Amino acid sequence: MLTQVVKDRLSEIVGPKNIITNQGGMAAYGYDATLMSQVPVGIVFPRSTEDVSALVIYANKIGLILVPRGAGTNLSGGSLPLEGSVIVCFSRMNRILEIDPKNFTATVETGLVNFDLQEELEKFGYYYPPDPASYKASTLGGNIAECSGGPRCFKYGVTRDYILGLEVVLPSGKVIEIGGKNFKSEFRYDLTRLFVGSEGTLGFVTRAILRILPKPPAKRTMLAIYNKVEDASRSVAEIVAAGIIPTTLEMMDNLLINTADEHVGLGLPLDAGALLIIEVDGYDVDLDNQVRLIEELCKKSDVRDFKVATSQDEADQLWLARRTVIGSVGRRSPSYSLQDVTVPRSAFPQMVEAILACSKKYDLPIGILAHAGDGNFHPLVLFDERKPDEVARVHKAEVDMVRAALDLGGTMSGEHGIGVLKKEYLGLEFSDLAIDLFRRIKRSFDPHAMLNPGKIVDIVPAELVEKRKGTVDGTSL
């Protein structure tokens, strides 16, 4: 608990309306989209970079741990508070500061929701390519912290490819500006990409200059239905091998087709083994050729039905099914575990097999959801967390899937970050040498581990962690 002195000072910094210290309010911020939770000792909502800087300076003075939070949609525990920490929630810092179509840039405060930016950009005929499934809720600051991907990343790349400039409050409370509107620049060393994906552990990003693109003149959305998931996975391999780069190439298996359809009511074929949602964009005149070629390749791998959406509304419905599918599994089981394993594209079919084998071995339903073009899988393991036996099997299945991906030259994490969830697997993927470098970087930015400690790597000895828990009552004042 925070003492009144600390509460008063925090309230002075952010304003009395922008702090929560009651138990009920705090509990609402003690979770993210993983299964873990931990109630913080306070939540503050800074209104400006100056507020964030003042918070960090004060936190340094009294030894308070700060944990950043956007919308809490993250999937690896990156925004989960540690015991005794104060959450810095960026939702009040959500202004679009400038849209500059001539330079293909948008400058935003990082509490801005991704979708709100997209809506505004639409008016100018522009868009911001990274589109995590959560984009209707997730903030750009969260996207930057996790280096989020999304369906469109197959063609357009991930968050790191769209950040031109950042304003960051460093662990000292000082504010640094990095980069700018230049398409090419050499900020040496590359602090921009060091902060992107650093999960708020090296500094809090308060503003960003994003690269935006003119909307493609036209697009086509296709739905390919298969009897067997293996057939769909062959189609993916065929399309990629043909050198075609669709905007998106998404896969859902039978389990997820069923939960999505129950949720959205699209009339999807419930007996299908899998479906692919394929989108291409570009100049109208050549899209029909691309669609024809993709259809041919799908037929080679025994597609059962191949449709092109005839209206924007039909395409939107398909995307609604895809974007809400993770939530839809709640209809089938009280809990789910979501992985983020990624393999080189050519190993896509082998990874599908590994997931199927895992499901059988541990007798657990696993829904296969994949950004197939990227080799990025989000297997959804359904279970009941009240059954310890099931939980134990889920844990084993997770480790098996991570190992299978690594054996195929893959990675445990494509776009959801490390956070606390995958910290325990770090040693499976990264050498001691790499982990040592991670620690050195963390130490050189945040030697006292004041900002989002315990995420990605630990640098503070256990005794100090214990000791710090005691300081949050303000006794060190």
User: Which positions from 190 through 229 interact with a second copy, judged by CB under 8 A?
Assistant: 190-191, 193-194, 196-199, 202, 214
- Helix 348-361 × helix 388-407 angle, to 10°: 160
Nearest approach in angstroms of CB 225 to a second copy is 25
241 lies in the binding site for a second copy (CB under 8 A): yes
At 108, list the tokens. Answer: 């935003």
379 lies in the binding site for a second copy (CB under 8 A): no
Q: What's the CA gap between 113 and 142, in Å, rounded?
A: 9
Nearest approach in angstroms of CB 209 to a second copy is 10
415 lies in the binding site for a second copy (CB under 8 A): yes
Backbone angles phi and psi of 354, in degrees to 5: -60, -40
129 lies in the binding site for a second copy (CB under 8 A): no
Q: What is the dihedral of CA 315, 261, 259, 411, to 10 degrees?
A: -20
Nearest approach in angstroms of CB 304 to a second copy is 26
**Count of residues near a second copy by CB under 8 A:** 82
Q: What's the CA gap between 435 and 426, in Å, rounded?
A: 8
Nearest approach in angstroms of CB 358 to a second copy is 20
With 0-12 CB in 10 A as exposed, 13-18 as middle and 19+ as buried, what is 470? exposed
123 lies in the binding site for a second copy (CB under 8 A): no
Which span (294-302, 318-326, 442-450, 462-470) binds a second copy, by CB under 8 A?
442-450
In the region spanning residues 318 to 347, those forming contacts with a second copy, defined by CB under 8 A, are: 342-346
Q: Are strands 105-109 and 96-100 parallel, antiparallel or unpaired?
A: antiparallel
In the region spanning residues 60 to 119, those forming contacts with a second copy, defined by CB under 8 A, are: 100-105
- In the numeric block, the tokens 């997820």 are attached to 256
Q: What's the CA gap between 179 and 211, in Å, rounded?
A: 12
Q: Which of 91, 90, 122 is nearest to 106 (CA)?
A: 122
Nearest approach in angstroms of CB 467 to a second copy is 25
**Residue of 184, 311, 363, 463 interacting with a second copy (CB under 8 A):** 184
3-class SS at 438? helix
Q: Which is nearer to a second copy, 94 or 452 (CB)?
A: 452
248 lies in the binding site for a second copy (CB under 8 A): no
403 lies in the binding site for a second copy (CB under 8 A): no
> Do the beta carbons of residue 402 and residue 358 sit within 8 Å?
no
Q: Which is nearer to a second copy, 288 or 316 (CB)?
A: 288
